[in-house]
Structure 1
Amino acid sequence: MKFTELALPEQVMRGIENMGFTDLTPVQEESIPLALDGRDVAAQAQTGTGKTAAFLISLFTRLLKQPAETSGDPRALILAPTRELVVQICEDAKGLGIGCPFKVQPIFGGVDYDKQRQALQAGVDVIVATPGRLIDYAKQRVFSFKRIEALVIDEADRMFDMGFIRDLRYILRKLPPFENRQTMLFSATLSTRVMELAYEFMDLAEKVSIQPEQVTAERVEQILYHAARREKFPLLLGLMKKEPGADRVLVFVNTKREAEHLTERLKANEFKAAVISGDIPQRKRMRILDDFKEGKLRFLVATDVASRGIHIEGVTHVVNYDLPQDAEDYVHRIGRTARAGAVGKAISFADEDLVFHLPDIEEYIGRKIPSDFPHEDDLVWDYKRTTPRKKAPTPEKKGGGEKKPARRRPRRRSQGGRGPEKA
């Protein structure tokens, strides 16, 4: 089905053409007609299948058809679990809304508080937000929920995983009644808890499920190597030399410390690399993501904070340097490549410590991952080593001097109750 068959407003079609879209993806084909008809939609869709465009096109069409008031309060609200996802939705909204007169405002923590506050006070049409800071502004009455006529909840399952459900329920209770607004909910899984949310806060939602048995994206080529821990870095170097077109590689590890260490090793071997993890300041994080998108970095090393909510065009390879301990994280990680019809490759390393998570992953995705053992020509051993970081010395207390010797444990008395005899 083509977008020209949907009889969309001219302003929306201009944005679709601007983004280069012609054919609808399966989730778009199922959900957009229902949304255009005014129905509530609860959709299960894999990451990278075009669900952001689905709800933005539906949302912009609705707002264009409804007469606008001049109160300045938002008319639509899009909720997402991560800052990165909020930013990406706003980027897509900018492209798809190029012909629409709507002001879209991102709201999330980690950036200028007063600047976002002033933007809300000046008046916006659409808010794209994480729950925490949005609630803060709402309690201060910086804006009102009263005019919200359309709500989108993106990555609903992730809202539960990240502990946002109480905040989400708070916001939903502040909105106009569900019969007075349109609600669209998108989730990788329509679990029982997600559907309970739909039944409670939506108006007889139409359930859309796209290929639920196909958990991982179709166009992702998957391969797993059984490699010892000491072989993983040589194997990464060897594979990246052999892999054609490995220009934009997203590497996942399980800990911040491993992410920093791996990035240092890549840099030492003259690869352009950067690390992104949960405690990096927001501005620096966005600068790193921009550099990766623009091709200034070949490797982006990330913890699972980046496994959802980041949409980067042209990620050629995803490498699970550490096999994830959560099966769902495997799906979200490899979904960073082969997005919206593109092709990509996911390479995973299963070492002696993490291979025990492989059965759970394969059970979750419903298939065996093709596997192999590294061959000698896959490994590059002549790389530059890095010196492990030393722990910072413990600062001495005031009035210090030499460190006091540790207290010795008293020697055990003999059965007769007498202490040991002196030599």
Structure 2
Amino acid sequence: MSEKQPQASTTPTFAELGVAAEIVDALASRGITHTFAIQELTLPIALSGHDLIGQARTGMGKTLGFGVPLLDRVFDDADIEELDGTPRALVVVPTRELAVQVGEDLTQAARHLPITVATIYGGRPYEAQKELLKSGVDVVVGTPGRLLDLHSQKALHLDHVAILVLDEADEMLDLGFLPDIEKLLEALHGNPHQTMLFSATMPGPIVTLARTFLTKPVHIRAEGAEESFTHEQIKKVTFQAHKMDKGAVLAKALQAEGRGKTIIFTRTKRTAAEVSHDLAQRGFTVGAVHGDLDQKARECSLQAFRDGEVDILVATDVAARGIDIDDVTHVFNYQVPDDPMTFIHRIGRTGRAGHSGTAVTLVGYDELPKWQIINDEFDLGLPTPPQWFSTSPELAEALAIPEDVSETVGPATKVIGAPRSRSQRDGGRGSARDCARRSGSRTRTRTTRSRSSRSRRR
């Protein structure tokens, strides 16, 4: 499970907040007993069935903030119809990768409950997902497009959904996703339901829009309004870099002392492919996640990164939202993102759950206006970052790079997840075929316990 134990145990335990014993036991088996601040604040409200907007910094426990009360209520709440194989809860997320992550977290939390969790997203065959839904599911996690497709084909029935969650709600209610969200709301046919919105960032216009379809929602922020989005546990290093020197800068920076798992964000999928290939040629172990890869290859790359088979993941912003890998020590913005909120979600991949981390932003000379917008939005105090090169002593000092490091670290490797040329078909760990072997089905977990065991509160 991606959620980790808070560093301090001053917050109440899940058991003390009245969470079902089966869920408490499942969390405890993962070393999770005490709540994060967002969980402490939202659980009493969510368990009572009220609508809410939950806001907390990235990596501070939002998934269990909605996941625990959702499972608890679906399992044993008199206001929710008895389970009959049609969904009682729907969690909508913006990306396939986040769907997989949230689905796994809910499945692990529900391991002692007779509840079926299904994860539905694009890039997978329709028929398998239709069969899964036909066999009966209680909680569905999915992306809007595939959910609507299956609903239009009458494979996904939403008439009895009693709990609706929008994860990364600020993105879900932006113009790109809003029409799909409106269609999903229509698909509930006015059925009374609890709605929960969770995100790290909730701009005012998004909150105003959200209130149009929530009923007397409580807006909860786990931090005070004065606290910075870019929290102090993340060391931020920002400088201007010439695009012809960025590869060398990156190669040296990746040899910094204490550098562990690292995510490198690019703005375009073409750049992601180029950067991952360049690093592999320099001898680094690299995985890639971007839009030119099929879903199996993307899942393979992420799993290789989680498992430590590769320690560098090059990704477009598909991975900036909700990919919960707790031991990421460094994040690099190889290209400045197009908007400030994306910057926050990117750097939030490190410094998670109370850990420290380093966020490095390479500002191209032509990207300075984009950086200045980000700087102004979050009052970072660096409107014109210094110009550093791969040979600059300031770079080595800021990132603790040892003296005389080379721009290569060994013989060329293959990028996990990258498509191969025909000449490479007989071998190479970077192939899509290898990824397919590595990828297992994570779409469903059905518990076998009898539903009669309902007297389970501590």
Question: Does TM, scored on the shorter chain, surpass 0.5?
Answer: yes
Does the 8 Å CA contact 1:147/1:176 hold for their aligned counterparts? Answer: no
Structure 1 length-normalised TM: 0.85
CA 53–191 in structure 1, closer or farther in 2 if over 3 Å, else same:
same
Q: Which has the larger displacement, 162-171 or 75-84?
A: 162-171
- Equivalent of residue 75 in structure 2, options 46, 64, 70: 64
Determine the structure 2 residue equivalent to 1:296: 309
Q: Over residues 402-421 of structure 1, what are the superposed CA-to-partner deviations in whole Å (9 max), with x where a residue is unaligned?
A: xxxxxxxxxxxxxxxxxxxx
Q: 1:382 to 1:55 in 2, by over 3 A?
A: closer
Worse overlay, 37-46 or 50-59: 37-46
Distance 1:181 1:382 in 2: 56
Q: Which deviates more from structure 2 when the two are superposed, residues 115-124 or residues 261-270?
A: 261-270
Shift of 1:226: 2.6
| 1:235 is aligned to 2:249 | yes
Matched, 1:83 2:96: yes
Q: Matched residue of 1:250: which SS?
A: strand
1:376-387 → structure 2 map (5 Å cutoff): 376-377=392-393, 378=396, 383=408
**Number of the residue aligned with 1:269:** 282
Distance 1:311 1:162, change over 3 A: farther
Counterpart position of 2:56: 45
8 Å Cα contact 2:54/2:198 also seen in 1: yes
Instruction: Determine if contact 1:234/1:380 at 8 Å carries over to the other structure.
Output: no
Give the structure with higher Rg (CA): 1
Which of 329, 334, 345 does residue 321 from structure 1 map onto? Answer: 334
Would the alpha carbon gap of residues 303 and 73 (structure 1) be closer, same or farther in structure 2, given more than 3 Å must change? same
Tell me, yes or no, if the aligned pair for 1:277 and 1:303 is still in contact at 8 Å: yes
CA distance in 2, matches of 1:25, 1:291: 28
Distance 1:134 1:314 in 2: 32
Name the counterpart of 1:138.
151
Q: Establish whether residue 27 from structure 1 lines up as the match of residue 41 from structure 2.
A: no
The whole-number CA distance in structure 2 between the counterparts of 1:43 and 1:315 is 24
Check conservation: 2:326, 2:353, Cα contact below 8 A. Answer: no
Task: Kindly state the Cα deviation for residue 63 of structure 1 after the two structures are TM-superposed.
Answer: 1.6
What is the deviation of 1:157? Answer: 1.3
Q: Note the alpha carbon deviations across 1:22-77, whole angstroms, 9 max, x for none.
A: 33222112111111222111122222121101101111111222266353111111
Report deviation, 1:341: 2.1
Counting only pairs closer than 5 Å after superposition, residues 331-350 of structure 1 correspond to structure 2 as 331-350=344-363
- How has the CA–CA distance of structure 1 residues 70 and 258 changed in structure 2, closer, same or farther, with 3 Å as cutoff? closer
State the Cα deviation string for residues 336-388 of structure 1 (Å, max 9, x = none): 112222221111112312223221111122322596545545386654999xx
User: Is this contact kept in 2: 1:19–1:96, CA < 8 A?
Assistant: no
Q: Could you tell me how far apart the structure 1 residues matched to 2:369 and 2:203 are?
A: 26
Indicate conservation of the 8 Å contact 2:124/2:295, yes or no.
yes
Residue of structure 2 equivalent to 1:190: 202
Alignment deviations for residues 317-353 of structure 1 (CA, whole Å, 9 cap, x no partner): 1011222232222111101112222221111112312
Q: Give the superposition deviation at 1:232.
A: 1.9
Tell me which amino acid in the other structure corresponds to 1:9: A
**SS of the residue 1:200 aligns to:** coil
Whole-angstrom CA distance in 2 between matches of 1:15 and 1:325? 40
Q: Which amino acid is 1:21 matched to?
A: I
- Counterpart check, 1:2 vs 2:12: yes
In structure 2, the partner of 1:410 is: none
- Structure 1 unaligned residues grouped into runs of 5+: 387-423
Deviation at 1:276, TM superposition (A): 1.4
Q: 1:169, 1:282 → 2: CA distance?
A: 26
- Among all aligned residue pairs of Structure 1 and Structure 2, give the percentage whose two residues are the same amino acid: 35
Q: How does 1:21-420 map to 2 (within 5 A)?
A: 21-66=32-77, 69-161=82-174, 163-175=176-188, 177=190, 180-211=192-223, 212-213=225-226, 214-244=228-258, 246-368=259-381, 373-374=388-389, 376-377=392-393, 378=396, 383=408
SS of structure 2 residue aligned to 1:98: coil
Give the Cα separation in 1 of the matches to 2:361 and 2:182.
37
Q: Does 41-50 or 107-116 show the bigger shift?
A: 41-50
CA RMSD of superposed structures (Å): 2.3
How much has 1:80 moved relative to structure 2? 0.7
Cα contact 1:120–1:142 (8 A) shared by 2: yes
Conserved 8 A contact 1:14-1:98:
no
SS at match of 2:263: strand
Q: Distance in 2 between matches of 1:104 and 1:298?
A: 30
Aligned residues: 384
TM-score (norm 2): 0.78
Give the partner amino acid of 2:113.
C
Change (3 A) 1:383 1:140: closer
In the aligned structure 1, how far is the partner of 2:299 from the partner of 2:288? 12
Give me the whole-angstrom Cα distance separating, in 1, the residues matched to 2:83 and 2:340: 48
CA-CA distance at 1:78 after TM superposition: 0.6
Distance of aligned partners of 1:70 and 1:359 in 2 relative to their CA distance in 1, 3 Å threshold: closer
- In the TM superposition, residue 283 of structure 1 has moved relative to its aligned partner by 0.8
- Structure number with greater CO (CA < 8 Å, separation at least 6) is 2
Q: Distance in 1 between matches of 2:127 and 2:92?
A: 21
1:176 CA drift (Å) = 5.3
Query: 4+ residue runs of structure 1 moved beyond 3 angstroms?
Result: 369-386
- The one-letter code of the counterpart of 2:68 is I
Q: Distance in 2 between matches of 1:184 and 1:361?
A: 29
